[in-house]
A and B are shown apart, each in its own frame.
Chain A
């Protein structure tokens, strides 16, 4: 076993994800199977290979820079239109500073 239920709980904690006991049991099985399959990559010697993070093309170093001009922003009202809870021009969340 690569993955235990206790390890699944740790990872869910990192991912900010509530899981039910049934989901944890299922994920332990699935992740174990999938991660075992992923171990096939260890057959390859990649000691001299540079990692590829992105598909890149030839272009000038400054190609993606644009003039520093102010573009009208989307506006507070539009930006907050989808907020579950907003107030005074901000997103509202449960109290962060503990008493």
Chain B
């Protein structure tokens, strides 16, 4: 029963309702299949069968009693290993947290499990979510299920790969500079970064707090929207979570997008690989056929986004990662002095990319450089946000590429950190502005590599974003532009 490999959430619900399988049967077969398939991609770091089966049993009991088992009843999901799960190891892809067992659940996890979701295990990622290829994991890279010699993208590479490989129906990731959308585009699944503050970050291990988001992956737009509406909303445990009411996104997916004004930012089409550009242009043509009005727009500060982002993100990271000093979190180097213990623990525990970012962040915050780098970057961030504000007075949505190229080969960029950073150009702007954005598959290159189209909308307009993506999907956009 390898049905999990292609199921959508709707099909899980239909199967449970028709008694084709029980939640426990589905969880068991999903775990078996995922564990058997995992060596191909290394998408999961560890599984939590006891927790999964207990959750599935709760769903079956409710169903047997005729109760509502929740919108995600029995749905097998995977969770990026930077989101804490009580009693289940959470490593952040780092040697430093190899043995860390969190004493609490992230709010997103609590809400998904209350809705009936069944967590199968924790997925691989770049160490502390820092990377664009999943090659920075201390536990080995993830291979892209579509092309095993290529990266799945990063940092949420394991979650994207699990959904693409069929070893989870949906998954959670985190996005600070594109870490949900870019792997979604590389693996050919849907990936969503909601409005900043939409989903509580309580229990998301912090990387860059002014940019961090939790976001869902799904095989369909509806699945991703359902996960988001289930976990979104104000949480007292995260003061930055937004009070804005959460509408039902899934109830508004009626395929009607006629008259939607779409902007194509010209800065996002310069330097784009030609085949990726072709796929996006085909996708835009399909949106026009659906009645959307397409126009060119300009987001002039775009060219400054990479330096702006890598100053702010590394500065915040250097501060957030200061807590891994050997005192509280499981791993400690044996040294005689306190300061020696801090330094040795961190020197032995962090991988090369984390060290690079801690060093850059410490440098840009250090005396004499703060104004020139950090303060300057915060001002440029304001310009990038203003670009979007102005654009959204003329258009309802922005359509753009997700990444300059499709999935690259494992090892191809690993020795050139600047080249790797530059590949984040199209995704980091959405995080800097805090607006909702997502990647939807829009076809494949001649080599069979998936290409993602990015849709960005105004703050808290996930509804408009999902409606557009869903209409595109229903019109055959995922495969149709091939």
> Which residues of A line the B interface, CB within 8 A?
3, 8, 11-12, 14-20, 23, 26-27, 30-31, 33-35, 37-44, 46, 49-55, 57, 59, 63-64, 66, 74, 78-79, 81-85, 91, 93-96
Scan B280-318; emit 1 where CB is below 8 A from any A CB, else 0: 000000000000000000000101101110110000001
Using known A-B contacts A12-B359, A38-B310, A84-B330, determine if residue A94 contacts B380 with beta carbons closer than 8 Å: no
CA distance A17 to B352 in the complex (A): 12
Query: Which segment, of B27-35, B117-125, B236-244, B398-406, faces chain A?
Result: B236-244
Contacts of B385 in A (CB 8 A): 52, 55
Q: Is B101 touching A82 in the complex (CB atoms < 8 A)?
A: yes
- The answer to whether A18 touches B383 (Cβ under 8 A) is no
Residues of B at the A interface (CB closer than 8 Å) are 99-101, 103-104, 196-197, 210, 236, 239-240, 242-244, 301, 303-304, 306-308, 310-311, 318, 322, 325-332, 335-344, 346-348, 350, 352, 355-356, 358-360, 362-363, 366, 373, 375-383, 385, 417-418, 421, 433-434, 459
In the assembled complex, the Cα of A11 lies from the Cα of B314 at a distance in Å of: 14
What residue of chain B has the Cβ atom nearest to residue A15's Cβ? B362
- A59 to B375 Cα, complex, angstroms: 25
Cα separation A18 to B116 with both chains bound (whole Å): 45
**Complexed CA–CA distance, A15 and B301 (Å):** 31
Complex contact A11–B355 (CB within 8 A): no
Could you tell me if A51 and B418 are in contact, using CB atoms closer than 8 angstroms? no
Complex contact B360–A41 (CB within 8 A): no
The residue from A54, A57, A93 contacting B210, defined by CB atoms under 8 A apart: A54
* CB contact under 8 A between A27 and B356, given known A34-B310, A96-B338: yes
Q: Does B332 contact A41, Cβ atoms closer than 8 Å? A: no
Interface of A (DSSP majority class): loop
Q: Least Cβ distance of B257 to chain A in Å?
A: 26
In the complex, given contacts A33-B417, A94-B338, A95-B337, what are 13 additional A-B residue pairs having Cβ atoms less than 8 angstroms apart?
A14-B366, A16-B325, A31-B363, A34-B360, A38-B311, A39-B307, A55-B196, A55-B197, A57-B242, A59-B243, A83-B328, A91-B328, A94-B336
A34 touches B417 (CB 8 A): yes
Find out whether the CB atom of A82 lies under 8 angstroms from the CB atom of B329.
yes
Q: Tell me, in angstroms, the Cα distance from A20 to B346 when the chains sit together.
A: 12
Chain A residues contacting B327 (CB-CB under 8 Å) are 83-84, 91, 93
B197: A residues at CB distance < 8 A: 55, 57
Cα separation A70 to B109 with both chains bound (whole Å): 24
Q: In the complex, A35 Cα to B306 Cα: how many Å? A: 11
Bound CA–CA A42/B377 (angstroms): 10
Chain B residue numbers with a CB within 8 Å of A82 are 99-101, 103, 328-330
Q: Is A49 touching B311 in the complex (CB atoms < 8 A)?
A: no
Give A53 Cβ to nearest chain B Cβ, in Å: 6
Q: Which 8 A-B pairs have the closest CB atoms?
A: A18-B347, A55-B434, A51-B378, A84-B332, A46-B379, A52-B382, A38-B307, A55-B196
**A37 and B307: CB pair below 8 A?**
yes
> How close is B357's CB to chain A, nearest CB, in angstroms?
10
User: When chains A and B are docked, how far (Å) is the Cα of A59 from the Cα of B101?
Assistant: 36
Distance of A65 from chain B, by nearest CB (Å)? 9
Residues of the B chain whose Cβ atoms lie less than 8 Å from the Cβ of A16: 322, 325, 339, 342-343, 346
Question: Chain A nearest CB: distance from B246 CB in Å?
Answer: 14
A40 to B381, Cβ gap below 8 A? no
Can you list 26 residue pairs at the A/B interface with Cβ under 8 Å?
Answer: A11-B363, A12-B359, A16-B342, A16-B346, A17-B355, A18-B344, A23-B352, A26-B352, A27-B356, A27-B359, A31-B360, A34-B360, A38-B311, A44-B301, A44-B383, A46-B383, A50-B382, A52-B379, A53-B210, A54-B240, A55-B197, A55-B210, A78-B103, A82-B99, A82-B101, A82-B330
Q: Which residues does chain B contribute within 8 Å of A44, judged by CB atoms?
A: 301, 304, 379-380, 383
**B346 close to A46 (CB less than 8 A):** no
Please determine whether A74 and B366 come into contact, CB atoms closer than 8 angstroms.
no
> A8–B358 Cα gap in the complex (Å)?
12
Neighbouring B residues of A17 by C-beta, 8 Å:
343, 346-347, 350, 355, 358-359
Contact A51 B379 (CB under 8 A): yes
- Cα A85 to Cα B89 in complex, Å, equals 19
Q: Which residues of A contact B336 (CB under 8 A)?
A: 94
| B-chain residues with CB within 8 Å of residue A74 when the two chains form the complex | 103-104
Bound complex: CA A18 to CA B242 (Å): 39
A94 neighbours in B (Cβ, 8 Å):
335-338, 340-341
Q: What is the CB-to-nearest-CB distance from B331 to chain A, in angstroms, rounded to a whole number?
A: 7
A78 to B101, CA, bound (A): 10
The chain A residue with its CB closest to the CB of B369 is A35
Q: How far is the CA of A52 from the CA of B347 in the complex (A)?
A: 32
Alpha-carbon separation in the docked complex, A55 to B360 (Å): 23
Contacts of A66 in B (CB 8 A): 236
A15–B207 Cα distance when bound, in Å, is: 16
B381 CB to closest chain A CB (Å) equals 5
Q: In the complex, how many angstroms separate the beta carbon of B348 from the nearest chain A beta carbon?
A: 8
User: Contacts A17-B343, A57-B242, A66-B236 given: A30-B356 contact, CB under 8 Å?
Assistant: yes
Q: How far is the CB of B375 from chain A (nearest CB, A)?
A: 6
Contact between A49 and B104, CB atoms less than 8 A apart: no
Whether the Cβ atoms of A81 and B101 lie closer than 8 Å is: yes
